[in-house]
Amino acid sequence: MHLFRGVPPNGLSEPCALTIGNFDGVHVGHQAMLTRLCSAARLRGLPPTVLTFEPHPREYFARAYNKPELAPPRISGLRDKIVNLAANGVRQLIVQRFNSRFAAISAETFIEELLIKRLKVQWLLVGDDFRFGAGRRGDLDMLLDRKSVV
């Protein structure tokens, strides 16, 4: 598996099939998502890729607002997450640092710059409750409007 610490500045070298999430614990539901990702990637000749965050976004905001009780408990550490994702067929893992700069990215920039230009996403798998961008403004409907991504 190829591990990237953050989205590569010049983007990925080839298009990918992507899923986005925290994947803490890589439980049975995560495993099902990864199986679907790998299957779709194989059909399209794309590397199955995961974008995950460190720290967990809710952990970041809990610290930022001095409300530690809002931080989700960790099921596993980053090392275990990497091992589990690799064991489930992920060929590329992007561990994006979640900080104030990343949190401020607009939903439109997240789609256009991150997903389309830098990650070259050709197939995307996210949950129907997936939110992204500053203020959690982006959602599944916004992604579906961008047919080149979904």
In whole angstroms, what separates CA 63 from the centre of its chain? 21
What is the length of the chain?
150
Question: Do residues 104 and 134 touch, judged by C-beta distance below 8 A?
Answer: yes
Beta-carbon contacts of residue 59 (< 8 Å; ≥ 6 apart): 71, 72
pLDDT, residue 29, reads 86
pLDDT tens profile 78-113: 999 999 999 999 999 999 999 999 999 999 999 999
pLDDT, residue 149, reads 59
Amino acid in the structure at residue 38: C
Q: How confident is the model at residue 115 (pLDDT cuts 50, 70, 90)?
A: very high
Q: Is the pTM of this model over 0.85?
A: yes
Q: How confident is the model at residue 150 (pLDDT cuts 50, 70, 90)?
A: low
Domains and CATH numbers, the chain: 2-145 (3.40.50.620)
**Distance in Å from the first CA to the final CA of the chain:** 24
List the beta bridge partners of residue 2: 92
Q: In whole angstroms, give the CA distance from residue 41 to residue 39.
A: 5
Question: Do residues 12 and 2 touch, judged by C-beta distance below 8 A?
Answer: no
pLDDT tens profile 11-55: 999 999 999 999 988 888 899 999 999 999 999 999 999 999 999
